[in-house]
Amino acid sequence: MCGIIGLFEKSSVSSHNGVSPNHNSAKKLVKALKLLQHRGQDAAGLLSSRIKNDHFVVKKGPGFVSEVFSGLPEKDFCELDGQILLGHTRYETVGGPSELNIPPFQAVHSDTNFSEGAVNNSSEKEKTPSMGIVHNGNIVNYFSLKEELEGASEGQRTFLKGQNDGELMLRLFQSFFMEESHSPKTFNRRSPFLIIQTCMRRLSEKVEGGYALLLIIEDVGLVAFRDPYGIRPLVYGKDKKGHICFSSETIALEGIGYQFEREVRPGEVIFIGFNGTFKSAKLAFSGYQKKDPIKEAPCMFERIYFASSKSQVQGALVKNTRRRLGRVLAEKVLEKNKFFDHYDAVSAIPETGLDAAYGVAECLKLPMVEGILKVQKSGRTFILPGNKRGTALKQKFIVRESEIKGKRLLLVDDSLVRGATLKSLIFELKKKGAKELSLAFSCPPIQFGCFYGVDFPEKNELLANQKSHQEMTTFLGVNDLFFLNEGDLLNVFDGRDHCFGCVTKKYPTKLKEGIAFARKRTAEKSILGIV
């Protein structure tokens, strides 16, 4: 999972160098990026359509958005101001922490690594625009495509600088763009948007996965695309001046004064030219993936865990969705405990369990206690690499003895993944005097890996895959465990299709290379020392 932002500012002046007509566009983008911080904390970056020394102006680095951009001199911000800007907060799912794996990525026409031989005369070189990309998601066949690109015959070969699927998609798109725009049949006869549609169709037929991406094409414009199943989110909005902003979540649009327009549709490509022309088309796919016609399958985990509770997903405020899930969860608790006198209070595991906990407490008519506090700025432990997770856990929560001592508590959390966080938290709650503890989750047990951008690809990392209900209860040290099921989620999601792969093992795409991907990622993590 990552957070992406793309900002387009209208201009009445020619903008071939991508210079913004308005100052402070870079600061605006950084502000929006901070509102997506919960989606990734490994690195942050910004790429401007402004060109300097033959490259897009870029600022990126490891850490939180504030760490990368605070203290940046005013002149550097001015240099970043561009008519189009791309921003990214990274959650590491492929490739290690090396600088080469930090988005945004760019492929410039003078880049000698790019398709040696394919740009071997100066006139073709001039026709090949530089490009930049940010994306959110995972490409399942990344490792085999990388091998294919790097092992191709001379003249066709492309070397990737890092190990990130965003860079791979950029290189593939750029090579398709070169072929389509340089073809004698098509050059000068097709509009850039038609060429972009063809390239995006070719790209999405080549890569398998869940992804949303934003691309800058030098002197051409901004492109937004969401995978054919719409697994990863992408929305856009406008401000009063008609500027446009794309984002992973609506909260970032709202934060910089943009009005949410709509979600980018699964398989839809949107193009905004530097002159402000706005075009969109939903691409037709030929059933190359699993089903024909392709059904939308947005990630259910966005609504349960990943998205900000202040964002809108699928037409509903996430906070409200989570409260509704909590109310359904309360019914499960009541079903089991018909003569209800088992609990004195409900306590949420902050922060993502909070809204569901309110729903549970409301429905069971129980008081809410703030038994657990989250230390501010501690980030999300789930999206931390394993070797940092244990230490972060200890610094993440404060258990309040005054609120929990002598009480029979029903704890509410969003989901059960590895179980390590909960086990140590429950131990701490008991140590501080909680009398009895049960756990309720607003999600079904996560039993299978995710291949589309959430970093639990190996099923043996998942508690519910390894243990029975009773074994999990014993392992966690609680009296009872409650979960929602797929049907409950579908009801709350108003019957709309979603991806439930990690719960049901029914994934939207074929996953021909799923096992190989999971193994390679595990091997990569072990080399990097990430457990």
Query: 188: left (phi > 0), else alpha (psi -120 to 50), else beta?
Result: left
Which is nearer to ligand SF4, 190 or 265 (by Cβ)?
265
- CA angle (81 as vertex; 79, 85 as ends), nearest 5: 125
Residue 29 CB, nearest distance to ligand SF4 (Å)? Answer: 27
CB of 144 or CB of 447, closer to ligand SF4 = 447
Query: Could you give the C-alpha distances from 238 to 31, 33, 262, 276, in angstroms and in order?
Result: 16, 17, 10, 13
Phi-psi category of residue 460: left, alpha or beta, with phi > 0 → left and psi -120 to 50 → alpha: alpha
440 with 366: CB under 8 angstroms? no
Complex with ligand SF4: residue 237 or 449, whichever CB lies closer: 449
User: Closest separation between CB of residue 307 and ligand SF4, Å?
Assistant: 11
3-state secondary structure (DSSP) of residue 502 = helix
Residue 372 CA to chain centroid, in angstroms? 27
Distance between start and end Cα atoms, the chain: 18
Instruction: Give the residue with the Cβ less far from ligand SF4, 301 or 441.
Output: 301
- In the bound state with ligand SF4, the residue whose beta carbon lies nearer, of 405 and 506, is 506
Choice between 402 and 504, CB closer to ligand SF4: 504
CB of 253 to ligand SF4, least distance (A): 22
* Residues near ligand SF4 (CB under 6 A): 210, 231, 299-301, 450, 452, 454, 499-502
Query: Least CB distance from residue 263 to ligand SF4, whole Å?
Result: 16
User: How far is 419 from 336, CA to CA, in rounded Å?
Assistant: 23
Token representation of residue 208: 């398998």
Spatial separation of the C-alpha atoms in residues 524 and 146, rounded to whole Å = 15
Name the helix (H) or strand (E) containing 367: none
For ligand SF4, the closer CB: 299 or 333: 299
**Minimum Å distance from CB 301 to ligand SF4?**
4
DSSP string spanning 184-231? TTTTTTS-HHHHHHHHHHHHHHH--EEEEEEEEETTTEEEEEE-TT--
Rounded to whole angstroms, the maximal C-alpha distance in the chain is: 81
Distance of closest approach, residue 359 Cβ to ligand SF4, in angstroms? 21
CB of 31 to ligand SF4, least distance (A): 28
**C-beta pairs of 351-355 under 8 Å, 24+ apart in sequence:** 351/309, 352/304, 352/305, 352/309, 352/413, 352/414, 353/411, 353/412, 353/413, 353/414, 353/442, 354/309, 354/322, 355/309, 355/318, 355/319, 355/322, 355/323, 355/326
Closest approach, Cβ 140 to ligand SF4, in A, equals 11
Record the tokens describing residue 49, joined without a space.
């359509």
- Taking the complex as a whole, the smallest distance from the CB of residue 508 to ligand SF4 amounts, in Å, to 8
Using the minimum distance from each CB to ligand SF4, give the nearer residue, 77 or 456: 456
Query: Which DSSP symbol is given to 249?
Result: S
The neighbour count for residue 167, using CB atoms within 10 Å, is 25
What is the b/e burial string over 66-105, where b = at least 16 CB atoms within 10 angstroms of the residue's CB? eebbeebeeeebebbbbbbbbbbbbbbbbbbeeeebbbbb
* Strand residues in 27-176 grouped as ranges (E): 43-52, 55-62, 84-90, 105-107, 131-139
Nearest distance, CB of residue 109 and ligand SF4, angstroms: 35
Contacting residues for 372 by C-beta, under 8 A, at least 6 apart: 347, 348, 349, 350, 397, 398, 399, 400, 425, 429
CB of 511 to ligand SF4, least distance (A): 10
DSSP 8-state assignment for residue 304: I
From the CB of 187, what's the least distance to ligand SF4, in Å? 39
Nearer to ligand SF4, 258 or 451 (CB): 451
Q: Determine the length of the chain.
A: 531
Closest contact distance (angstroms) between CB of 447 and ligand SF4 is 10
Question: For tokens 């063809």, what's the residue?
Answer: 198
The owner of tokens 């401007």 is 48
Pick the closer one to ligand SF4 by CB: 176 or 483.
483
Residue 52 or 291: the one with the smaller Cβ distance to ligand SF4 is 291
Q: Which C-beta is closer to ligand SF4: that of 133 or that of 502?
A: 502
By beta-carbon proximity to ligand SF4, the closer residue of 2 and 502 is 502
- Helix, strand, coil percent values for the chain (each to nearest 5): 35, 20, 45
Closer residue to ligand SF4 (CB): 28 or 38: 38
Least Å distance between CB 166 and ligand SF4? 17
